Structure 1
Amino acid sequence: MRLLVVEDDVLLGEALATGLRQLGHAVDWFGDGAQADAALAVASFDAVVLDLGLPRGDGMVWLRRWRERGLMLPLLILTARDGVEERVQGLDAGADDFLVKPITIDELAARLRALVRRAAGQAQAAWQHGALQYDPATKVVLWKGAKVDLTGRELALLEALLSQSQRVLSKAHLLEKLYDWSGVEPESNALEVHIHHLRRKIDPQIVRTVRGVGYAIGSGEGIA
């Protein structure tokens, strides 16, 4: 997943970004709502983690502004405010979940997976696509019951394709899901290399190329 973290506490922001990256996610972290707003305008994120006590505008203000603008991606409030009134206000303003600090990275990641899964209309925790099974929590991929070992980028690519299995996704969109702005600049052929590895490790037809448009999850041998 490509995640946006909005947290003004430097130590916590760095810890959240590092922890989520270690779990295989692309993460962009900003210290205020204005920076996050600019990022949302140019990049495709799967979910937002939003603090409320932000400089240059309270997080609740930004939440309402984004929802009024029609931005409907999953959003989780992560704050030190633990009053019932704040929880009610946050959820009524459009938040999909509300967590009170401190939290563990594992719980935060699980909550985000659940939000993204529901947004995609996926009821089950594991993705099932014919003979292919993928569990985002454990990062285990099974092809016809046999485990497939994939790198973090390959897993992120497979997850992006599975999450929108009815769509053809552009190269630019897929690269946004794989790489954040942390300083790692992808090679010009990085996406094609990852796709080649998925086809080699799983099945030659597991990723479908739509010439001039992009890529989609393919049928693959054994997929109905």
Structure 2
Amino acid sequence: MKGLVLDLWKHLLALVYPNFCLLCEETLDYSNDKALCPHCESAHPHLREDLCELCGKPLADPFDSRCFDCGKRPHFYEEGRSIWVYEGLVKQSIYDYKYKKRKEYGLLFAKELIRYYNETIRWEVDMVLPIPLHKHRLRERGFNQTELMVKHFAKSFDLQMGGKKVLWRNKPTEPQKTLSDKGRWDNMQDAFFASKAHVEGKTILLIDDIYTTGSTMDACAKVLKIQGAKAVYCLSIAIGRGM
């Protein structure tokens, strides 16, 4: 049944959305499940090996099991993974998606999330949640870029998608990119709330666009665990390099 739902969803998306390479915008065939042309796929392969066992950052030393950040403090989530390193054309595409309102990128990023999840990850989850934006940031940006991706992702796997009644941001926060590592963690404290009725006993997948130190994912995972979530996993488009 899930396979049929996935095939129907892919066919519908192909009819509604243009199909082009996420990174260079070369036109792609509609039957292509990938969001990258062969050249960009070769130049930007998915992260699969020599990764931090917790957050999924690529490690400078393949004999290490954890990156520097994960060695400093524990996480509230079980495991995290990302598709690419946050640099080059990947970084530019995320910027254009978020700040130039390239909403059509939502489907393209979702296609790569779906492909990566299918090929690399074996988590069994009950619900998928986007990292929420505060209402002020949502009004300023006009849309939640992560929520748009998660809608496509959840439908493709026939998964329950939680919304603002499940996990929400109740405190306006500073942009994480402007802060130090400690500042990022402090900035996220008490920023999120979760509904016990919706998450208790469930295994939850959190999705975001960028993972840097993990402060945002951890803050969300913490409140989900407090409200009784059984386990929390994290998936993002791009991640910083580990040390």
Structure 2 length normalisation: TM-score?
Answer: 0.25
Larger radius of gyration: 1
Which structure's relative contact order is higher, taking Cα pairs within 8 Å and 6+ residues apart?
Answer: 2
Determine which structure has the larger strand proportion and give its number: 1
Structure 1 length normalisation: TM-score?
Answer: 0.27
